[in-house]
Amino acid sequence: MASVTTNAPANSWRASARERVPAEMMKPIAGSAAWYPQDFAGNESWVYRLSETEIGEIMDAVARIEGAGLGLMDVGADEFAVPTLAKGLADVREELIEGRGFALIRGLPMTGRSRLQTAIAFWGIGAHIGRAISQNTKGQLLGHVTDLGGDYNKVRGYMTKAHMNFHCDRADFLSLCCLHPAKSGGAHRICSSVTLHNEMLKRAPELVEQLAFRFYRARTGEIKEGEPPYIRQPVFSITDGYFAARGVSAAIRKGQLIEGVPPITPKQAEALEMYRAIADEIAIDIDFQPGDISFVQNHVTLHSRTGFEDWPEQDRKRHLLRLWLSSDGEYPVHPDIEREIRGVVLPGTVPRASLEIA
């Protein structure tokens, strides 16, 4: 095993109680996913700090894969063998599904490491959590989150430096690996959509009912021939006792611009506005450090990003690698959601995992 000296602090990771009480419509939802920011005041129980042994295992696995000339798509959990860390990653995965719904892995060395080596480490760790799925019509399994100068009104937010509202991605799990943070801003914001639901239920239960409506959401250039330019999904839903939430971000607003889509009602608009306001109230901000790897379980956790100022130098610009990971049905969701978390695949889409931004 490679010898690695990191002087890493002790691991602060602590599993939650992982309580699960079957959810019911119009009733408060109990469980470890219903957290508030104050639950983490003075503790980082959600941060899994890599030990020197675990870092050594990662370095060895990367060296084996790089030496064998394997492409990222050839790497699964078996190829990325990390015996000690695998136990920790299994615990992180269980926490994502049955616990808090988010985690951060910290301590991956970046100094002197190539982008390929970092991508192999990120991909391999992700393979222990879920199966990578396509993130766009180009079939990208390894995404790049960086400002390409895009207009948020016309392209997906990850191509811009704009503030993004709370939302969830089209996968069971979102994972991000920080290559370079921004000069300022760009905080990764998360909140519990379970807590959001419960707060709305306390304050205005009649508005919770409004969010069971199957809202029209615009699709951005990812439409099969003959399909409508929108999808429909409820914001709040319960399937087999499992709660799931969707965001109320730009997709609903853009959906209102599509010909033939009925306007949202005043009550629906009020519910959406309360949803946005409470999400901001109960959020925590995570300032990424280089090498940080975050995981968010999309059905119980929302995420957003603050706007940011970037570095002028190209090689210092904010750049995150991204994975969309599937649990292959381990967390039951509404059929309208399930159809949209299989990956973005159109006729002719060829899966790829490129190290370059495209």
In a domain, 354, yes or no: no
- Look at residue 205 and tell me whether its pLDDT is greater than 50: yes
DSSP string, 228-289: -SEEEEESEEEETTEEEE---SHHHHHHTTSTTPPPPPHHHHHHHHHHHHHHHHT-EEE---
pLDDT at 163: 56
Separation between Cα atoms, residue 240 and residue 243, nearest integer Å? 9
Q: Is residue 31 part of a domain?
A: no
Residue whose C-alpha is closest to residue 276's, from 188, 166, 195: 166
Find the domain containing 334 and state its range.
44-338
Query: Which pLDDT band holds residue 9 (cuts at 50, 70, 90)?
Result: confident
* pLDDT value of residue 225: 82
pTM above 0.95, yes or no: no
Per-residue pLDDT, 155:
46
290: pLDDT strictly greater than 80:
yes
Q: Which residue, 92, 84, 90, is CA-closest to 58?
A: 84
Lowest mean pLDDT among 203-207, 271-275, 300-304, 344-348: 344-348
Average pLDDT in the 245-254 region? Answer: 92
**Whether the predicted pLDDT of 306 surpasses 90:** no
Q: Which residue has the higher pLDDT, 65 or 151?
A: 65
- In-domain check, residue 357: no
- H-helix or E-strand spanning residue 56: helix 52-68
Report, in angstroms and rounded to the nearest whole number, the Rg of the chain calculated over CA atoms.
Answer: 20
Number of structural domains found in the chain? 1
One-letter amino acid for residue 270 of the chain? E
Residue 147 in domain: yes
**Bigger pLDDT: 261 or 20?**
261
pLDDT confidence of residue 184 = 56
Any domain includes 39:
no
Other beta carbons within 10 angstroms of residue 342's beta carbon come to 13
Lowest mean pLDDT among 32-36, 133-137, 273-277: 133-137
Higher pLDDT: 113 or 21? It is: 113
**CA-based nearest residue to 17, from 32, 28, 33:** 32
Least confident of 63-67, 263-267, 314-318: 314-318
Query: What CATH number should be reported for the domain holding residue 144?
Result: 3.60.130.10
H/E element holding 103?
strand 102-106
Residue 72 within any structural domain of the chain:
yes
Residue 89 located in a structural domain: yes
Q: Which stretch of 20-34, 108-122, 224-238, 302-316 has the lowest confidence by average pLDDT?
A: 302-316
Residue-level pLDDT at 186: 67
Q: What does the pLDDT look like over 221-246, one tens digit per residue? A: 778 888 899 999 999 999 999 999 99
Mean pLDDT rounded to a whole number for the chain: 91
Confidence label for 164 from pLDDT (cuts 50, 70 and 90): confident
Q: pLDDT digits over 81-112, tens only? A: 999 999 999 999 999 999 999 999 999 999 99
Percent of the chain with pLDDT over 70: 90
The mean pLDDT of 56-62, rounded to a whole number, is 98
pLDDT, mean of residues 237-263: 95
> Does 38 reside within a domain?
no
